[in-house]
Structure 1
């Protein structure tokens, strides 16, 4: 029973890491878009 619990926790931990990694990529893309927009505004000023 303990072995099944440990394996289950390991799987959940790995899944959470992948979810966090994906969220990080999405946030980075949003940040890049904001930076690019800010750069465009500065060029027009």
Structure 2
């Protein structure tokens, strides 16, 4: 039983870490898009 709980906890930790990386990647993409729009507006 302890082994099952440990496996579930480890799986949840991995899922939450991968979600953070995904959200961070989306934020970086949006930021780069905004920078491109600013550069285009300055021209």
Task: Report TM bin, short chain.
Answer: 0.7 to 0.9
TM, length-normalised to structure 2: 0.83
Give me the CA root mean square deviation: 0.7
Structure 1 segments unaligned to the other structure (5+ residues): 41-45
What is the match of residue 10 of structure 1? 13
**Stretches of 4+ aligned residues off by more than 2 angstroms:** none
| Aligned residue-pair number | 40
CA deviation profile, 1:1-30 (whole Å, cap 9, x unmatched) = 111111000000000111111111111110
